[in-house]
């Protein structure tokens, strides 16, 4: 009898925590997903900063550790190659990485069409040669001539990218546009079929809030982060990159900091306005944004708080 192989749940492999992330809290190891947002929300900048973090092994946005250092393959369909170079060089400078040895490889072909078998084959062979840890495709709309609103046309393209991810153990990141209409969940604002939102293992969403950018992080198998504030700023030597906006004093690292941090955030939620945003909690707890977000993720995983579009509240 010809049957599928099976395994008892207790005998399934256990993945160590340090192997679960490509970039801690931002992108899972080997995940497919989307960086989404309205036009001019710095989606491409964020994708390039993730790429530099993986290629150089440096923290992304200065906070989130790159757990799997390796090559990155990039196709930027809307930006001239000299612009891509300038941005990557500037981002590398902000993290102290040597740009001349940075393991980021740009596809220089004028077009890549995921709906053409010829281009699919070339992309597969390029991945087989480079074996990158991350493939960045920016933006999705320039990679095909299908109807993005038709699930039966979108699904085969996404299935092909999932096949690449599994075949080469490469994370796949699509930069994709979102509609301007407000939605309860950021993923629901992604343009086109709902297949795109459902496909992602890790999704990052950017939206503007006056002069700032708000970053929301959504994972299939980990706690989400909502309301992290970013800004595009010029650093030493004129290098421009995204930075986390954090005016609170920097805490000194401590082996016993994690539990007190969670308790402080929980107390702040109990005594402050509900729902409370990350910015309000950061100010009341006098902690860094990344620390507040980590505490919120743990509280959410424990089922002790509820996430709203405007912030968090205790259950």
Distance CA 70, CA 49 (A): 14
C-alpha distances in angstroms, 25 versus 101, 159, 180? 26, 25, 27
170: exposed, middle or buried (C-beta count within 10 Å: 0-12, 13-18, 19+)?
buried
CA-to-CA distance for 196 and 303, rounded, in angstroms?
Answer: 27
Whether the CB-CB separation of 137 and 172 falls below 8 Å is answered with yes
82 part of a folded domain: yes
Residue where one domain finishes, among candidates 188, 222, 244: 244
Query: What is the domain extent for residue 113?
Result: 18-244
The torsion angle over the Cα atoms of residues 240, 241, 246 and 251, rounded to 10 degrees, is -110
**Cβ 173 vs Cβ 28: under 8 Å:** no
- Residue length, the chain? 315
Name 42's Cβ contacts closer than 8 Å, sequence gap at least 6: 206, 213, 230, 232, 242
Strands of 202-209's sheet in order across: 104-106, 72-76, 134-138, 171-177, 32-37, 202-209, 212-219, 225-234, 240-244
CB 298 within 8 A of CB 262: yes
Residue 249: the pLDDT is 39
Q: What is the pLDDT of residue 18?
A: 52
Q: 234 near 93, Cβ under 8 Å?
A: no
Strands of 103-221 (E only): list them: 104-106, 134-138, 171-177, 202-209, 212-219
- Chain centroid offset of residue 101 CA: 24
Residues 201 and 284 in one domain: no
DSSP-assigned beta bridge partners for residue 217: 204, 225
* Nearest of 166, 156, 200 to residue 36 by alpha carbon: 200
Which ranges constitute the DSSP H helices of 131-253? 151-168, 195-199
The CATH number linked to 57 is: 3.40.50.300
The answer to whether residues 103 and 159 belong to one domain is: yes
Residue 236 lies in a domain: yes
List the pLDDT tens digit at each of the 315 positions of the chain. Answer: 688 889 888 888 776 655 689 999 999 999 999 999 998 899 999 999 999 999 999 999 988 999 999 999 999 999 999 999 999 999 999 999 999 999 999 999 999 999 999 999 999 999 999 999 999 999 999 999 999 999 999 999 999 999 999 999 999 999 999 987 555 567 778 999 999 999 999 999 999 888 889 999 999 988 888 888 999 988 767 788 999 986 433 343 333 345 678 888 888 888 877 788 888 888 888 787 778 888 888 888 788 888 876 688 888
What integer pLDDT is reported at residue 181 of this predicted model? 55
Pair type for strands 27-28 and 171-177: unpaired
Please identify, among 213, 244, 275, the residue that sits at the C-terminal boundary of a domain: 244
Q: What's the number of domains the chain is made of?
A: 2
Q: In terms of domains, do 268 and 224 share one?
A: no
**In terms of pTM, does the model score above 0.85?**
no
């Amino acid at each position: 009898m010809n049957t599928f192989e099976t395994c008892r749940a207790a005998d399934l492999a256990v993945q160590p925590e340090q192997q679960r992330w490509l970039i801690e809290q931002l992108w899972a190891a080997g995940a497919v997903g989307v960086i989404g947002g309205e036009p001019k929300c710095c989606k491409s900048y964020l994708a390039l900063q993730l790429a530099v973090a993986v290629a150089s092994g440096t923290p992304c946005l200065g906070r989130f550790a790159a757990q799997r250092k390796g090559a990155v393959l990039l196709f930027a369909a809307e930006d001239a190659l000299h612009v891509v170079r300038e941005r990557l060089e500037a981002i590398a400078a902000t993290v102290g990485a040597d740009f001349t040895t940075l393991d980021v490889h740009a596809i220089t072909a004028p077009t890549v069409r995921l709906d053409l078998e010829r281009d699919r084959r070339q992309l597969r062979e390029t991945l087989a040669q480079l074996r990158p840890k991350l493939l960045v495709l920016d933006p999705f709309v320039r990679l095909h001539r299908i109807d993005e609103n038709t699930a039966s046309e979108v699904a085969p393209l996404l299935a092909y990218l999932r096949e690449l991810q599994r075949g080469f153990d490469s994370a796949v990141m699509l930069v994709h546009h979102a509609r301007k209409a407000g939605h309860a969940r950021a993923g629901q604002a992604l343009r086109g079929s709902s297949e795109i939102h459902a496909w992602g293992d890790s999704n990052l969403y950017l939206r503007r809030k006056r002069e700032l950018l708000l970053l929301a992080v959504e994972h299939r198998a980990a706690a989400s982060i909502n309301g992290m504030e970013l800004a595009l700023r010029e650093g030493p030597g004129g290098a421009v990159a995204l930075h986390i906006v954090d005016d609170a004093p920097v805490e000194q690292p401590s082996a016993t900091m994690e539990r007190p941090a969670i308790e402080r955030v929980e107390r702040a939620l109990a005594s402050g306005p509900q729902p409370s945003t990350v910015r309000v909690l950061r100010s009341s707890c006098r902690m860094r944004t990344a620390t507040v977000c980590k505490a919120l993720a743990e509280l959410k995983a424990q089922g002790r708080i509820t996430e709203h579009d405007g912030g968090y509240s205790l259950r």
